[in-house]
Structure 1
Amino acid sequence: MKIVVLGGGVAGVSTAWYLARSGHEVSVIERRSEVADETSYGNAGMLSYGYTSPWAAPGVPFKAIKWAMQDMAPILISSSSFNLRTARWMTKMLGQCTEQAYRINKERMLRISQYSRTCLNELIRELPLAFDHRAKGTIELFRDQAKMDAIGADLESLKQCGVRHEVIGPADCIQHEPALANVREKFVGGLRFPEDETGDCNRFTAALAEQCRAIGVEFVLDTTVERLNRDSNRIASVHTSRGEVTADAFVVALGSYSSALLNPVGFDLPIYPIKGYSLTLPIVDPARAPQSTVMDESFKVAVTRFDDRIRVGGTAEIAGFDLSLDQKRRKPTEFVIQDLFPGAGDLSKAEFWCGLRPMTPDSVPVVGTTPITNLFTNTGHGTLGWTMSQGSARLLCDVVNGRQTDIDTDGLSIHRYVN
């Protein structure tokens, strides 16, 4: 079949790879002049196979009220961007903040993320992909003993889902992350995920795109996807800034922009663009830098080690499609890197970045078939697009090919939102 993948981020390029490897003629349409130039460019770098949880959880509404009064809140709401669409999405998300919904959503997310770890490890054994990859685990670092003592429910959920984890004290935190010895008084312990990994998503996607080109995938860059042309129960073509493109099947992998494309053909897909920020700074003292990822539980800021750089990612801002770089949003990321890893990197040379995370109300991505026979989706991964990229792409490839999938597809497709 001739298949067109709409979107050239990590989800779209990974989808193209698996589809092309299975024998299809594949094209990728991307509006930027390079792949992975938007949300996949500056994310936190975490491959969070174990550190996978829905945003919507019991207690979150009360935490949100508390965060609203904090100077460096992990979640911010921009009043200038607040509208009816924002209110509807937030209402749907708050509706998922029950014990039952949390368990269901977490299981669905972990199903993909655990599968994705297997898929990525197989891929990097097969292909020469250079992307600053490390497999040294993640530590969720606790500054407050009361918060660490309250993680019992999370531990039980991890146990039920078969996710390897370790509750560790300060000495073990320092054993895994020696630079933390410099700030021993600032934390009480951690929750470690030994199977989590790290890597530069942008570099990975660019390297995989080259492998795609080598097996015949066409990349149509600098081309905007404008609309889908529906003919009865099929998509006849996609209209782009360069004209009509026809194919046997289409895959929507446009992240936060997927809803605008799908709504006119009959699907009210609740994906909202959650704005995230990051700093990337060169390492000046490797001994003071992290070895892998340290997630500061108090500020929800991740500090991730690349080979010669540190990526610091955090802050979730509900601000619509606003991509302006608000310098005030540097504060949490700058504080955490200076507080936990002082002297590790050169902040004066840091690259400040923001991107839009395509978030569903239940935090579960939208992967699989749609009621339109030749239209498929691989989108809505929220903060875990890098983590879930390979599992989602391989799963979708099997769905397109009508094969038995390696994991259960229940609850993962757009059908959960279609009445």
Structure 2
Amino acid sequence: MRVLILGSGVIGTSIAYYLARAGHEVTVLERQPAPALETSFANAGEVSPGYSAPWAGPGVPVKAVKWMLMQHSPLVIKPMLDPAMWRWGLAMLRNCTQARYEINKSRMVRLAEYSRDCLKELRADTGIAYDERMQGTLQLFRAQQQLDGTSKDVEVLQASGVPYQLLDREGCVQYEPALAAVKGKFVGGLRLPGDETGDCFKFTQALAKLAEAEGVNFRFGVNIQALEHDAVKGITAVRTDAGSFTADRYVVALGSYSPALVRPLGIRLPVYPVKGFSITVPITDASGAPESTVMDETFKVAVTRLGDRIRVGGTAQLSGFDLRLNERRRDTLEHVVTDLFPKGGSVRDASFWTGLRPMTPDGTPVIGSTRIPNLMLSTGHGTLGWTMAAGTGRVMADLIGGRAPGIDMEGLTVARYGG
């Protein structure tokens, strides 16, 4: 089958690889000159099934107000006359109940756990290297109230069979020795030993080469303009500035830019860009750097070891498609890494980056079929695109190939929004 994939971030590239391995003829269209140069370029580096959870949850509206009043705020909202942003925000608020949180988290964990298993298999089959480490994630709590509030998350982890450890200060230091120097700044943590870390950009670039070896045709520098549609035939072509492209199946994997492309088809896709930031810090003292990922629960910032670098990623800014760098967000990232790992790296020599996370209001991505038979979607992974990429690629290849996917698709398609 001829398949056309729109977008070569970590999601689109993963789908292309698995489709090619299954024997399909695959072409990928990408506006950038290479894969993974937008949202997948410098994310936090986490492959964290255990940390898969929706942002919408009980108490989040109150927390959001407190966050916005903090000096180093995890959340920034730039008021805009953008109806899509307000609709998305209201939909997110409707998901801030315990019942919805548990449903949404279970859906996310289902895909994320499957994806981690697919990544392990992919690594074993190909030997792909991307500064990977398999030493878990440590969610670090600076306040006792945060540690006490983990009970609901732990219940979902238990129900999903995800291993975890609740740790006191000494337990945290056992897994992250550099934290011994700042023990007075936290009370404990929740460790997820099954989580991994790695450089998403390196992974995607390497996977693209493997996909090309399997016959995938990447067309870079191509700007996608519209989907041509026939009421009977479905999608008939993708119109671009390099001409029209045709296929038997079409996969939209354009992250935050996906809704605008499918809106003329009558598909309501509530994905909105949530801007994230990162700095990449060269390590100057390996003994003072993290061993894996430490997630600072207070500031919602992840500090991750990537080879000879520390990736510090986080903050959430609602400001549409604005890609300007903001020095105040950099200050927050620098504060966290220097507060927890003061001797690990040189922030003066750090590079600063921003990207748009494609977020759904319920946190769960949108993957799979649509009401148009030959059109499929794969977007809305939010902060977990890297975590869910391999599993998403495998699921999409199975669906397109007419095979039953390895996980239950309940609640994962656009049908949950009536699309």
Q: Which 5+ residue runs of structure 1 have no aligned equivalent?
A: none
1:89 alignment partner, SS class: helix
Matches of 2:35 and 2:45, distance apart in 1: 17
- Equivalence map 1:13-412=2 (5 Å): 13-79=13-79, 81-233=80-232, 234-412=234-412
1:333-360 deviations in whole A, cap 9, x for unaligned?
1000000000211111101000000000
Amino acid at match of 1:324: R
1:361 alignment partner, SS class: coil
1:174 alignment partner, SS class: helix
Matches of 2:21 and 2:68, distance apart in 1: 48
1:294-320 deviations in whole A, cap 9, x for unaligned?
000110000000110000001000010
Matches of 1:405 and 1:326, distance apart in 2: 42
Measured after TM superposition, the shift of residue 202 of structure 1 is: 0.3
Matches of 1:226 and 1:208, distance apart in 2: 26
Matches of 2:303 and 2:99, distance apart in 1: 32
1:50 alignment partner, SS class: helix
Measured after TM superposition, the shift of residue 162 of structure 1 is: 1.2
1:236-291 deviations in whole A, cap 9, x for unaligned?
00001101001111000000000010101111110000000000011000000000
Matches of 2:328 and 2:386, distance apart in 1: 26
Matches of 1:400 and 1:360, distance apart in 2: 23
User: Does the C-alpha gap of structure 1 residues 176 and 77 become closer, same or farther in structure 2, counting only changes over 3 Å?
Assistant: same
Is contact 1:378-1:393 (8 Å) kept? Answer: no
Amino acid at match of 2:369: T
Percent identical among aligned pairs is 52
Amino acid at match of 1:335: H
Tell me the TM-score normalized by structure 2. 0.98
Measured after TM superposition, the shift of residue 82 of structure 1 is: 4.7
Amino acid at match of 2:154: L
Matches of 1:36 and 1:177, distance apart in 2: 30
Greater mean alpha carbon deviation, residues 38-47 or residues 158-167: 158-167
Tell me the TM-score normalized by structure 1. 0.98
2:389 alignment partner, SS class: helix
2:50 alignment partner, SS class: coil
Measured after TM superposition, the shift of residue 103 of structure 1 is: 1.0
Measured after TM superposition, the shift of residue 159 of structure 1 is: 1.1
Matches of 1:4 and 1:64, distance apart in 2: 40
1:201-255 deviations in whole A, cap 9, x for unaligned?
0000000000011111000001111110001141000001101001111000000
Is contact 1:282-1:309 (8 Å) kept? Answer: yes
Matches of 2:146 and 2:105, distance apart in 1: 20
1:75-110 deviations in whole A, cap 9, x for unaligned?
11012x352221111001101111111111111100
Greater mean alpha carbon deviation, residues 156-165 or residues 315-324: 156-165
User: Does the C-alpha gap of structure 1 residues 138 and 165 become closer, same or farther in structure 2, counting only changes over 3 Å?
Assistant: same
Aligned residues, how many?
418
Is contact 1:16-1:28 (8 Å) kept? Answer: yes
1:168 alignment partner, SS class: strand
Matches of 1:83 and 1:252, distance apart in 2: 23
Is contact 1:139-1:294 (8 Å) kept? Answer: yes
Q: Which 5+ residue runs of structure 2 have no aligned equivalent?
A: none
Matches of 2:53 and 2:176, distance apart in 1: 23
1:123 alignment partner, SS class: helix
Matches of 1:268 and 1:160, distance apart in 2: 32
Is contact 1:290-1:304 (8 Å) kept? Answer: yes
Is contact 1:82-1:319 (8 Å) kept? Answer: no
Amino acid at match of 2:358: P
Matches of 2:184 and 2:415, distance apart in 1: 50
- Asked if residue 413 in structure 1 is aligned to residue 419 in structure 2, the reply is no
Matches of 1:410 and 1:242, distance apart in 2: 38
Matches of 1:305 and 1:82, distance apart in 2: 39
Is contact 2:68-2:74 (8 Å) kept? Answer: no
Segments of 4+ in structure 1 off by > 6 A? none
Matches of 2:67 and 2:282, distance apart in 1: 31
Is contact 2:222-2:242 (8 Å) kept? Answer: yes
